[in-house]
């Protein structure tokens, strides 16, 4: 399943779960257990974003502000926006 205009990919979505997923989307949140990535990211960027979101429970659609490959360190970095009491941070994968 792809949700536009954000280009959000979801996998293995049962027809019964679509309404819940769309409600989460209206709330600007992702259903992390079905989320696969964004069409605007390369495969490596999608994987980095996915693992950071899953590990830290980051479900806000706009919470990840950038994903890029840091060639100097040989790792992807994922920038996460500040939310509530959390501070913006850069996480390496």
* List of residues 6+ apart from 10 with CB closer than 8 A: 1, 2, 3, 21, 31, 34, 35, 36
What's the mean pLDDT in 62-90?
Answer: 86
Q: Which residue has the tokens 């974003």?
A: 49
pLDDT for 85 equals: 56
**1: confidence class by pLDDT, cuts 50, 70, 90:** very high
């Amino acid at each position: 399943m792809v949700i536009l205009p954000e280009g959000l990919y979801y996998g293995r979505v049962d027809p019964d779960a679509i309404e819940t997923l769309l409600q989460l989307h209206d709330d600007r949140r992702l259903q992390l257990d079905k989320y696969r990535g964004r069409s605007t990211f390369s495969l490596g960027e999608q994987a980095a974003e996915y693992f950071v979101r899953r590990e830290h429970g980051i479900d806000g659609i706009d919470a990840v502000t950038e994903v890029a490959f840091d060639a100097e360190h040989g790792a992807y970095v994922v920038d996460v926006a500040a939310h509530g009491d959390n501070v913006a941070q850069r996480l390496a994968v």
